Structure 1
Amino acid sequence: MRYRRFGKTEMLLSVFSLGTMRYLSSAENAHKTIDRALEVGINHIETAEGYGKSEEFIGLAMGNGLSKQRDRFFLTTKISPTDSADAMWRRIEKSLKRMQVDYIDNFDIHGINLREHLELVTNPHGCMKAVRQAIDQGIIGHVGFSTHAPLDVILDTISTDLFASVNLHYYYFNQRNEPAVQLAHEKDMGVFIISPSDKGGRLYQPSEELAGVSYPFTALYMGDRFLLSDQRVHTLSLGAANPAEIDSHQDAWDHDEPLSELEQAVLDCMNRRYTALGDDLCSQCYKCLPCPEEINIPEVLRLRNLAIGFDMVEYGKYRYKMFENAGHWFPGSKAIRCTDCGDCLPRCPENLDIPKLLRDTHDRLHGEEGRRLWE
């Protein structure tokens, strides 16, 4: 296992962190998963108030002996922004009680996804007042934020200089947030990548095309290496549902050096797969927004890019079903809401027939409705 300095926090974190959103089946499974993570060298456990019983399961593990190993790992929990300091203080106290700990190494404001959330944290008398008080009392070591926001909101949040780290989405298959990674790097912030294996492409279940183009490596390995070869990135979430899933990343966690010639050649080959879209390739410039029907056009067409370029249809269905069902965590209407108003057309530098491509995407990917995992 390799370790990296987590920005200005000075915490030396393993390049994989144990994300606990998926180990919700039982307290016993949670404890075994944590034990396996520590055994392989993972030293960062990341949870959230909203992850079902995750905090409670961590607390039960603490009561069953994990507390004796408290000096072996860093602990992060996340709480959504509140409109008052008192509300945040009460929720911090409840998280500590559930986890049976008296301090949190790292604390994140969970889900600064909208400008309204950013306004809550920049209010000097709001939730950050309680966070600063907890830092002063030694209850919290460092404070960061997690986000599923549009890029401009992420950049503005980083620019507040209120935070020492950021949790965000950034992957080979979705590089929209690269400017945020760069700005965080310039400010010496810790950079934590959310769900690189799953939302980064369901890489543990690749399509035949993706598996083939990744050869002689696996798609999972290439996704990990794309990130770990980037020194601006410090740790990746490993959201194991059970102890066995931790080892699926073993090939990558000892390799954080620059890409080898062969690895770069595989990425170059992957890049060429987009030629299958011909003149229908969406470059993800985002100039088509805003859409009067609130369709997240770039994200819809990104899923189409992947479905055609890599036959990632199942991943596309998995993400597409979240539209209209996940609120600000995954905003946007389904593509079928397009009214052919043509508002987006003159702004597209590729002159794409966006309404036609939206309907095509809906036909390819529409299926059962979805919800966020803990819902």
Structure 2
Amino acid sequence: MELRDFGKRSGFRIPRVNLGPMRLPADFDEAAALIRKSIDAGMVYIDASRGYEDCELKLARALKDGYREKVILSTKWSPWGMPIEKNDDTSADCVRRRMDEQMKRLDVDYLDFYQIWSINSREQFNQVTRRGGMLDGIRRAMDEGLVGHAGFTTHDEPESLVSYLPEADWCEIILFPYNLLQTRYAPAIAAAHRLGIGTLVMNPVGGGRLAEPSPVLARLAEEIGAASVPDLAVRYIMSNPNVDTILTGVGKAADISDSIASVEAGPFSGEQIRRIQAYLAEVSDGASRLCTGCEYCLPCPAGIHIPEIMACVQDDRHWGFTASARKRYLRQTIRADACTECGVCEEKCTQKLAIREDMAYARRRFGE
């Protein structure tokens, strides 16, 4: 695969698609073989985490026999992402303890990158960058030759994130959420790119959501000339020049070959991008009239979490994600069949939506 600069700060060059080992097979031997297959195919950057179940242990097995030397290895942790002990905090000493444990789990003596996992607010950014905070612990490990580079991952609001990016002169890479149906991080990705920070995208097919059959998106993929909806999703991200690479989850060999094929098919033309955006805007306009998730309708006298049910209806009715919508609906403790049609929610709804009708729709569509 073709390589490009991983931002301007890290000094690395990487391919456009790399390995996110969150969804590896349960069997260790099968997982190790798949990791090696990914590396052999050119996915040289690996983004691990203490929070991805046993992925670090599976990587330890896969990175034997010279494979460690072939990759750029990164892992991450934070006390709010996955506390290991009750007294875990954002101190330098605590992150160093966790880092030492992770290196043992990975069975390595050096990490190319260590990331602070999920900085999701200005407050958390201040906590980790204060004197004696996590950043100092990572810098100490860098001084000792245990870690090469630092970065962080985020789900913070884009506007908040952009406000403190200029202060993150220590940060060499950032992992962002961004996909075909969630593009609001584009300005933050662009801001990071302008600063020379390497930009990675997680869940390019929406954590598998965009691999689910959707007649709505299948029509768009066919019109644009994409091989499939996942191909459409990957190539859409790759058409953003501010994105350096995507991380693809790998559960089977086809996940590797399909992702690489999409990247090598190249970005969409400007005309194709405009058509994609217009099509999605048209569908989203209808979806946005369903529910904004403001929660003014709560509390429901019957205990229903109305916005959650409405979101399931939206995904089914507008996007055609029926299977995942039903699955989320059935996870609700109190479902739409508890609705007494009292109408209190509709009186409080800022969008003046016919919530009772949508509760009836959910009962019919998703009922057991």
**Partner deviation per Cα, 1:254-291 (whole Å, 9 max, x = no partner):** 144452645654554444334655x8266x7x9x5899
Shift of residue 131, structure 1, vs aligned partner: 0.5
- Structure-to-structure mapping, 1:135-174, within 5 angstroms: 135-161=142-168, 162-174=170-182
In structure 2, the partner of 1:333 is none
Structure 2: which amino acid aligns with 1:212? R
In structure 2, the partner of 1:331 is none
Equivalent-residue separation in structure 2 for 1:240 and 1:29 (angstroms): 11
| Percent identity between the two aligned chains | 26
**Partner deviation per Cα, 1:141-198 (whole Å, 9 max, x = no partner):** 2111112233344334534314222112111201122221122122221111111113
Shift of residue 238, structure 1, vs aligned partner: 0.6
SS of 2:167's equivalent? Answer: coil
SS of 1:143's equivalent? Answer: strand
Equivalent-residue separation in structure 2 for 1:314 and 1:54 (angstroms): 27
SS of 2:99's equivalent? Answer: helix
**Partner deviation per Cα, 1:107-159 (whole Å, 9 max, x = no partner):** 11112234553332122112211101111222112111112233344334534
Flag the 1:146–1:343 CA change in 2: closer, same or farther, 3 A: farther
Equivalent-residue separation in structure 1 for 2:332 and 2:159 (angstroms): 21
Contact 2:173–2:200 (CA under 8 A) maintained in structure 1:
yes
Structure 2: which amino acid aligns with 1:78? K
- Structure-to-structure mapping, 1:225-374, within 5 angstroms: 225-259=235-269, 261-262=271-272, 264-274=274-284, 276-277=286-287, 280=289, 305-317=314-326, 340=345, 345=350, 352-353=351-352, 356=355, 360=359, 363=362
Equivalent-residue separation in structure 1 for 2:242 and 2:213 (angstroms): 27
Equivalent-residue separation in structure 2 for 1:291 and 1:118 (angstroms): 33
Structure 2: which amino acid aligns with 1:125? G
Equivalent-residue separation in structure 1 for 2:150 and 2:356 (angstroms): 42
Structure 2 unaligned spans of 5+:
80-88, 334-338
- Structure-to-structure mapping, 1:96-115, within 5 angstroms: 96-115=103-122
Root-mean-square deviation over aligned CA pairs = 3.6
Contact 2:177–2:201 (CA under 8 A) maintained in structure 1:
yes
In structure 2, the partner of 1:23 is 24
In structure 2, the partner of 1:3 is 3
Structure 2: which amino acid aligns with 1:79? W
Equivalent-residue separation in structure 2 for 1:100 and 1:305 (angstroms): 46
In structure 2, the partner of 1:210 is 217
SS of 1:192's equivalent? Answer: strand
**Partner deviation per Cα, 1:68-126 (whole Å, 9 max, x = no partner):** 13332211101114322111111111111111111111111112234553332122112
Equivalent-residue separation in structure 2 for 1:320 and 1:80 (angstroms): 31
- Of 210, 217, 230, 1:220 maps to 230
Equivalent-residue separation in structure 2 for 1:255 and 1:211 (angstroms): 18
SS of 1:273's equivalent? Answer: helix
Q: Aligned pair 1:184/2:192, yes or no?
A: yes
Equivalent-residue separation in structure 2 for 1:194 and 1:262 (angstroms): 23
Equivalent-residue separation in structure 1 for 2:164 and 2:190 (angstroms): 14
Equivalent-residue separation in structure 1 for 2:172 and 2:307 (angstroms): 30
In structure 2, the partner of 1:78 is 76
Flag the 1:366–1:181 CA change in 2: closer, same or farther, 3 A: farther
In structure 2, the partner of 1:128 is 135
Equivalent-residue separation in structure 2 for 1:48 and 1:361 (angstroms): 42
Structure 1: which amino acid aligns with 2:230? L
Flag the 1:234–1:195 CA change in 2: closer, same or farther, 3 A: same
Shift of residue 40, structure 1, vs aligned partner: 1.7
- Of 193, 198, 210, 2:206 maps to 198
Equivalent-residue separation in structure 1 for 2:367 and 2:171 (angstroms): 39
SS of 1:21's equivalent? Answer: helix
Shift of residue 52, structure 1, vs aligned partner: 1.1
Aligned residue-pair number: 342
Shift of residue 339, structure 1, vs aligned partner: 6.8
Greater CA drift, 249-258 or 205-214: 249-258
TM-score, normalising length from structure 1? Answer: 0.77
Flag the 1:119–1:291 CA change in 2: closer, same or farther, 3 A: farther
In structure 1, the partner of 2:336 is none
In structure 2, the partner of 1:328 is none
Flag the 1:98–1:169 CA change in 2: closer, same or farther, 3 A: same
Contact 1:300–1:358 (CA under 8 A) maintained in structure 2:
no
In structure 2, the partner of 1:119 is 126
Q: Aligned pair 1:175/2:183, yes or no?
A: yes
SS of 1:196's equivalent? Answer: coil
Equivalent-residue separation in structure 2 for 1:296 and 1:239 (angstroms): 31
